[in-house]
Every structure is written in C-alpha cells, then in structure tokens.
C-alpha cells in the first residue's frame, strides 16, 4: 500500500531504541519521536527523514508531491554511476535526495522542499537542481512562498561540471521568485555544505538553522586536506553563523510549523494581519524560539541639559517604547556579509493589524550591555543589516519604522577597514528610493551621518528632549574654536534641539516626554507614539509606491 505523506510512524518501529548522535545514550525511540527527534537527555538533534520533516510542518494529508520522477542521465559517463543510483533508491525508498511539493501550513498554501542526507548526502546533481528550479518556477507562477530544508554534502562529484551549473540555475530561479515579491526561506540542517550552501541554501529572505547544525562552504575534512588547518571547536556551527551575521536565527523543531506560518502571514504583500490571530492559535510559545528574539510587548531644558540627558544610561531605549507600540517584535540577525552588529537591531513588528519593519539603534541599559553594543555606535555591518531589512520591507510592501539613538557611527580602524563611509553612503542612496513609507523617530542622540544613515524618512520626528546634530558639541567646539571645553557653549549655537529643528523644518513632529523620558514616562510616550504612528501608516495606506519615494526625494531636495 502506498504510504500517505504525513501518516504516523509504524508503531513497531516506534518501540525500538535509538542512540543519540551527540551524547551517545540509548533512548526510547517513541519518546524521541514525541520530542520531534530531539534527544530528551542532552537536547541533541537527530537527522530527520523526508516524510518526518513533512509531517512536522504540513497539515495532515495536505502534501502534494511535485516532480517525483525525473529523467536521469550520466553526463560524464562515470563508471557504475547508474548502478550506484539504483542501489541508493532501493535502500532509501527515495527517487532522489530532494523531495518537493505543495502543502498547507495551518491552512496557508506553501511549497516545501526537503533534502535527505540518506541519498548520497543529498549532493546536488542535475536532478536535484532541476527539481529545486522547477519547483521555484512553479511557485512563482502560482504566487506561493517556498521553504526548503537544506542538508547536503555539496556538489555531486560523479556529475562534475554539470553539477556545478546547478548552483547558477537554482540561484537564477530564486531571483525571479524574489522579483515577484514572494517569500523564499531556508532552514539549514546538519550538515549543509558545499555547492548547496553556496547557492539556494544561503539566498533566503529569512534563513534559519537548527541548533548545532554544521554549516559551511567547505567541510572540516576538506579544509584540513586542502590547507592542513584544523578548525577550532564550534567554528562552523549554526551558532557561529548567527554570531557572524549570516543567518536570522536558530529555530527549535517544537515550534517550527508555527514559525513558518508566522513568516507566511507576515510576508504577504496584501491584506491585514493581526497578532491576535497568532495568539488565538496558541502561538505564544514561538516567543523565544529564535535565538536573540526580543519581544517588546516637564521643565524646559537648555540645549546642554538635553545633551547630557540623552547620554544617560538610564534613558529609555527603543525596546522600552516598543513594549507599548508593538504587539510583538521578532528580531532578525546579521548583514549576511560579516557580522551581527548589536548597535543596530531590526526585525518585524506588529502594530495592531499591520506588520512593519523595525530598525533601532540600541546603546545598552547596563555597563556590560553598552560594551556589547559598542555604546550604540554602529559598525558598517550594522548599517548593512539595516539596509538588508529595509530592502526586504520594500519587497513585501511593509512600512519601515526607524528609532534613532546614536552618538554617531563608530570611527575606529576596524570600521574603516570594513568600509564605514561606503556603508553609510549606500544607506542614504537606497533609502531615498524605497517604495514603502519610512518613519524615523529620534528618541535620544542623533549624531552626524551615523544617525542620518537610518533617518532618511518620509517624516522625521523627535522626542521633546532629543538632539540631532552635525556632530557632537565637543567635536564642533574642537573644530571651529580649537577648544573642546566650550562644548556647552557650542550646544547653544548649533540648533540641535527638537524645537530648533522643527523651526528649521528638519522634522515634522515633536513627541512629548511628559516631564522627561524615564521608566515612569516610557509607557505614556510609547502610547502617544503608537497613536501617531497609526495615523502615519493610514496616511500612506494605498498610496502609489512611486509617489511615496518621490515625496521622500522632494523632502530632502528642499533643503
């Protein structure tokens, strides 16, 4: 009898024991299955077969396989290749190392593809390349999101240069899918290496990975054989990739289906999505499932007093205000080039029924966090992360809310080596033409080009006691008067307060602080901002994208 996708495992098999690949303990297989093939002793992740992967994320009985059989050839006439394929098919019951089709995830249609390491380590030959490409092309025509569980040893050696060509072919199909405004997401599992890493695995709008997964271009054995270099412990793990900015987060299997549904709904270009619909389904347990997620459910002062107040460590951060503005905020990580700069965070936030992309400078609320976040002074990778997320917002028609609070871009040697000037310039240019509304809110310090790099908005607002300046008063006094000690005097002549900049028409709105931003007033400030942000979003709802970009161009053209 033909096995139905999503059917339960055979009970006889479930009664067997299995050995954990990480800790080596002998485990009850039934209990392991209940735990989504995760060791209940050490938390180690088992590799998962195709049918079990599909069962974890697809609604029961909804998976419709595409391209089950495809013509197979031996392009290099490699000896015994056909016999090798026949043996692997017989042993695994799979036609190839990649299975793909359409299914429903909590009722939402999506294309899901699964690499299975049992079939020649899911190495990418011409059949896998054709399956991936054809499925993405079909998804583009049908307007469907695509999720691929990646696992591979890389290129299929027996097919040589023809295998290599699959990297370009699959990548080109992903580009067309993206140009159609559709979501493409990958889940990197153990191991993901070689040509798959260097093509369809690392091209997701959202890239997730399972805990501890081995991920890299060249595997440890290849690196050692080629260079003689022994890689340090944990060098090519999912955790390492997140730290260095290449993936958005690490995902646990227990909540994977809910996260995929969240991604489908939050990346749809049309229609309203309410966080309530997720909450009603019991989605509270996805909060924290991605490593590093943040859920962020007076007296008139002189210019110098304002400078000093915005520099205080206890002044509320963007996270503090976001608790009152957004129902949920899910952080994304990394610039996909170098690192994950903690001075700038970004992700998707829900404000009532509407998802928006959120960008925020974060200085830190303790001495240790300030050091970790470089006191809110971004490196080039921070600006590139922000730009990546803003371009993604444009693709999925999400407005952008930017919270600005930085003394300026970091100006050390390392920042220069990574191209600080280019990163800021690129942001200014790309932000000027974004076809979604951009709102920038200065909540503390706005220092120089480092602040402007995320403040090219259709509107720019400032908190009542915030500052925004060409550089610090100390720097101004040092350059013009050769005396940094005259910073207080400089602050009064620089016109850096919200009131000065409203008069100069540099900003559109002053946000009241109700006596001064603090732990006691942060909620009131946040509630005020939420109300005004909703008005801003309503103003641009349905507006022609070209007009949105043109308005922003004209705003800055007027200076």
| pLDDT digits 0-9 by tens, 319-354 | 999 999 999 899 999 999 999 999 999 999 999 889
pLDDT over 90 (residue 382): yes
Q: What are phi and psi of 19, to 5 degrees?
A: -105, 130
Confidence of residue 297 (pLDDT cuts 50, 70, 90): very low
Token pair belonging to 290: 């991605």
CATH architecture label of 47-266: Alpha-Beta Complex (3.90)
- Is the separation of the CB atoms in 44 and 22 below 8 Å? yes
pLDDT over 50 (residue 4): no
Helix (H, G, I), strand (E, B) or coil at 367: helix
Helix (H, G, I), strand (E, B) or coil at 129: helix
Q: What is the pLDDT of residue 269?
A: 73
Q: What is the pLDDT of residue 80?
A: 94
Q: Rounded CA gap, 332 and 346, in Å?
A: 6
DSSP assignment letter at 251: -
∠ CA 94-173-48, rounded to 5°? 30
Confidence of residue 218 (pLDDT cuts 50, 70, 90): confident
Confidence of residue 309 (pLDDT cuts 50, 70, 90): confident
CA atoms within 13 A of residue 521's CA, in its CB half-sphere: 15
Q: Rounded CA gap, 178 and 140, in Å?
A: 9
Q: Give the CA diameter of the chain.
A: 87
- Is the separation of the CB atoms in 472 and 407 below 8 Å? yes
pLDDT digits (tens, 9 = 90+) for 12-61: 344 589 999 889 999 999 999 999 999 999 999 999 999 999 999 999 99
Question: Under CATH, what is the fold of the domain 300-466+498-557?
Answer: 2-enoyl-CoA Hydratase; Chain A, domain 1 (3.90.226)
- Is the separation of the CB atoms in 343 and 335 below 8 Å? no
Q: Which of 266, 250, 261, 481 is nearest to 353 (CA)?
A: 266
pLDDT over 60 (residue 463): yes
Helix (H, G, I), strand (E, B) or coil at 112: strand
Angstrom CA distances, 245 to 57, 409, 421, 485, 528, stand at 26, 19, 20, 40, 34
pLDDT over 70 (residue 277): no
pLDDT digits (tens, 9 = 90+) for 191-212: 999 999 999 999 999 999 999 9
Looking at 65-79, 276-290, 530-544, which range is the least confident one? 276-290
pLDDT over 70 (residue 146): yes
- CA dihedral 146→147→153→156, nearest 10 degrees, is -20
The helix-helix angle for 256-266 and 50-57 (nearest 10°) equals 60
Average model confidence (pLDDT) across the chain? 89
Higher pLDDT, 496 or 283: 496
pLDDT over 90 (residue 525): yes
pLDDT over 60 (residue 120): yes
Tell me if the bond preceding 191 is cis, omega within 30° of 0.
Answer: yes
Token pair belonging to 541: 């709802």
Overall pTM surpassing 0.85 (yes/no): no
Q: What are phi and psi of 546, to 5 degrees?
A: -65, -35
Confidence of residue 279 (pLDDT cuts 50, 70, 90): low
Domains 47-266 and 300-466+498-557 belong to one CATH topology = yes
pLDDT over 70 (residue 286): no
Q: What is the pLDDT of residue 234?
A: 80
What average pLDDT score do residues 132-143 get? 97
Helix (H, G, I), strand (E, B) or coil at 474: helix
Q: Rounded CA gap, 455 and 507, in Å?
A: 11
Looking at 145-159, 281-295, 424-438, 526-540, which range is the least confident one? 281-295
Q: What is the pLDDT of residue 335?
A: 94
Higher pLDDT, 381 or 219: 381
pLDDT over 80 (residue 422): yes
pLDDT over 90 (residue 274): no
Could you state, in order of their start, the residue ranges of all structural domains in the chain?
A: 1-46, 47-266, 300-466+498-557
pLDDT over 50 (residue 76): yes
pLDDT above 70 as % of the chain: 92
Q: What is the pLDDT of residue 272?
A: 56
């Amino acid at each position: 009898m033909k096995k139905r996708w999503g059917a339960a495992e055979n009970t006889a098999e479930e009664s067997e024991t299995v050995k954990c690949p990480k800790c080596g303990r002998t485990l009850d297989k039934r209990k392991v299955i209940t735990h989504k093939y995760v060791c209940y002793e050490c938390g180690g992740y088992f590799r998962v077969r195709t049918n079990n992967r599909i069962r974890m994320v697809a609604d029961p009985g909804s998976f419709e396989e595409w391209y089950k059989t495809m013509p197979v050839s031996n392009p290099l006439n490699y000896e015994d290749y056909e016999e090798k394929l026949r043996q692997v098919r017989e042993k695994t019951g799979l036609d190839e190392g990649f299975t793909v089709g359409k299914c429903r995830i909590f009722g939402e249609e999506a294309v899901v593809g699964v690499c299975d390491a049992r079939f020649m380590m899911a190495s990418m030959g011409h059949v896998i390349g054709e399956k991936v490409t054809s499925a993405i092309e079909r998804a583009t025509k049908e307007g469907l999101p695509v999720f691929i569980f990646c696992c591979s040893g890389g290129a299929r050696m027996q097919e040589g240069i023809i295998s290599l060509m699959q990297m370009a072919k699959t990548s080109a199909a992903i580009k067309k899918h993206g140009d159609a405004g559709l979501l493409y997401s990958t889940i990197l599992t153990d191991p993901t290496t070689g040509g798959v890493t260097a093509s369809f695995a690392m091209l997701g709008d959202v890239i997730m990975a399972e805990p501890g997964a081995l991920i890299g271009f060249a595997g440890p054995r290849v690196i050692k054989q080629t260079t003689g270099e022994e890689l340090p412990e944990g060098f090519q793990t999912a955790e390492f990739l997140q730290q260095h900015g290449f993936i958005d987060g690490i995902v646990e299997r227990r909540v994977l289906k809910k996260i995929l549904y969240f991604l489908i709904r939050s990346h749809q270009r049309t229609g309203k999505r309410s966080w309530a619909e997720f909450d009603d389904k019991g989605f509270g347990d996805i909060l924290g499932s991605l490593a590093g997620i943040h859920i962020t459910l007076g007296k008139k002062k002189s210019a110098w007093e304002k400078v000093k107040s915005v520099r205080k460590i206890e002044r509320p951060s963007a996270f503090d205000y976001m608790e009152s503005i957004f129902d949920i905020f899910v952080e994304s990580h990394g610039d996909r080039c170098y690192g994950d700069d903690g001075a700038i965070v970004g992700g998707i936030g829900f404000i009532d029924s509407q998802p928006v992309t959120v960008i925020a400078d974060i200085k830190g609320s303790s001495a240790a966090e300030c050091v970790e976040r470089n006191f809110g002074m971004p490196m080039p990778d921070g600006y590139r992360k922000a730009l990546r997320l803003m371009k993604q917002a444009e693709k999925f028609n999400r407005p952008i809310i930017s919270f600005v609070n930085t003394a300026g871009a970091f100006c050390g040697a390392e920042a220069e080596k990574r191209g600080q000037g280019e990163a800021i310039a690129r942001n200014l240019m790309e932000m000027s033409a974004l076809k979604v509304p951009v709102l920038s809110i200065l909540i503390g310090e706005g220092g120089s080009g480092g602040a402007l790099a995320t403040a090219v908005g259709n509107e720019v607002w400032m908190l009542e006691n915030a500052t925004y300046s060409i550089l610090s008063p100390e720097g101004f006094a040092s350059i013009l008067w050769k005396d940094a000690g005259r910073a207080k005097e400089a602050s009064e002549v620089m016109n850096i307060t919200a009131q000065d900049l409203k008069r100069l028409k540099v900003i559109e709105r002053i946000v009241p602080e109700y006596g001064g931003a603090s732990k006691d007033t942060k909620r009131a400030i946040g509630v005020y901002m939420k109300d005004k942000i909703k008005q801003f979003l309503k103003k641009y709802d349905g507006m022609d994208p070209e007009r949105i970009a043109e308005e922003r161009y004209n705003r800055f053209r007027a200076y």
